[in-house]
Amino acid sequence: MRKIHLYIICFSLWNFAVFGQESVEEKFINQGELIVLEGGILSIGYNFENSISGNFENRGEIYYYNNFKNDNLFYSGASSKKAKVYFHPKKELIRQEILGQSVSEFHNVEFRTDNSNQSFLLGNEISVKGESNFISGIIKVSEQEGMFTFLSNSKSIGASDKSHVEGYVEKQGKDSFTYPIGDSGYYRPAKLSASSSEKDLYMSRYVYSEEDFFLDKSSKSGVIEDLNTKEYWEIKRSDSSSGNVLLTLSWDERTTPSELLTNPEKELHIVRWDAKQQLWVDEGGVVDLSNKEITTISGLTGYGYFTLARVKTDLLLEGDLVIYNLVSPDGDGKNDYFIIDNINRYPNNTVEIYNRWGVKVYETSNYNSSDNVFRGYSDGRVTVEKSDKLPSGTYFYIVTYEYKDTQGSRMIKKSGYLQLETD
């Protein structure tokens, strides 16, 4: 294989017709091994292809003014932290395409357009090891073939309304990260806190004004007053990821309905679509008015679709706990068990249920929504046999949990009536 080392300070490949024939498409094709050394600058003004036999290593700077296609190895040197690729489409190019069958690895990358009509189409996977700088131009990710991946310890800078990613962005590693995502010209980032493992992988995107999405997702838990049906975020977590993270979203008067913002400091929360229960559930939230941001108060209880909502503050207990007083275990996925939103955040808890005569029919500790819930069967100690299906009627519950905040730890007890329908 022929190996080419570019030692020169500036090597420009621009407006060159292959074989001198105007009818032939102008291309720069690498079919061997090519290395841009540190301090070298390569400028390519026509379509670039790294073929299936091409091996392209960048330790310097490369400027692409036309389309880019990689079908084999394209990467930055192991110690080349200054290596950078610039995507800057020429003025007559409306959309600069970044395509190929193989992952293109950049240490640093920059996106810049000369006018607002230009954009980028990402039709393959690119990964960033260092820094991605968004100057101008929207990067539109092909849902079938594209992926924008940030590797461990990499970061995004400069994202704004005029430059961000429209589509899925993936983040590997355990460090906190702000996803440079948006839609329809609006930059609407999502932030995830640090996780527990370098193997963790999270993916996110933002979608604006897709009203059909909410047509079959209109059901919401009782604590939710008004739902934001103009926008949503999607957060996915790989099966190999461990632990849970805090999520930070923001509101924007241009995209977020005004009825949600009457008293955001007290009433605005993050909500999540629970696919199993088929309804929106409260994930809580601490509001930062100065930055118009809201953050879940503890690790997410699930993943999928998220949006903002105004909640009924009179139903919230300390720690954003919400107790629902209807249980109908008929297998329809709605109220099949005694739902206590956010109880998973407070594992030091007990739940007791009594019938109308004061007989304890159920008692447990570390109540949670995954494997330890009340489904209408007794766990009694006195007159009700253990594991008997309880009759329909009105019952009485006592929920006790340990709540911790900046002032210390304290036990909170809440009691009320519970309606059970087993017939």
Predicted local distance difference test score (pLDDT) of residue 211: 75
In Å, what is the CA distance from 99 to each residue of 49, 223, 300? 9, 46, 35
Least confident of 18-32, 172-186, 247-261, 367-381: 18-32
Closest CA to 195 of 176, 211, 180: 176
Average the pLDDT over 326-341 and give the result: 86
5 SS3 class: strand
Q: Which CATH number fits domain 322-420: 2.60.120, 1.10.287, 2.60.40, 1.10.3470?
A: 2.60.40
CA 271 from chain center: how many Å?
Answer: 13
Q: Residue 215: helix, strand or coil by DSSP? A: helix
For residue 104, the model assigns a pLDDT of 98
H or E stretch at 409 = strand 408-420
Q: 108-142 pLDDT, tens per residue?
A: 999 999 999 999 999 999 999 999 999 999 999 99
What average pLDDT score do residues 202-220 get?
A: 91
Looking at residue 22, its pLDDT comes to 42
| DSSP 8-state assignment for residue 402 | E
SS3 at position 268: strand
389 vs 12, residue with greater confidence: 389
Widest Cα–Cα separation across the chain: 97
Q: In this structure, are strands 95-100 and 119-122 parallel, antiparallel, or unpaired?
A: parallel
Indicate the pTM of the whole model. Answer: 0.77
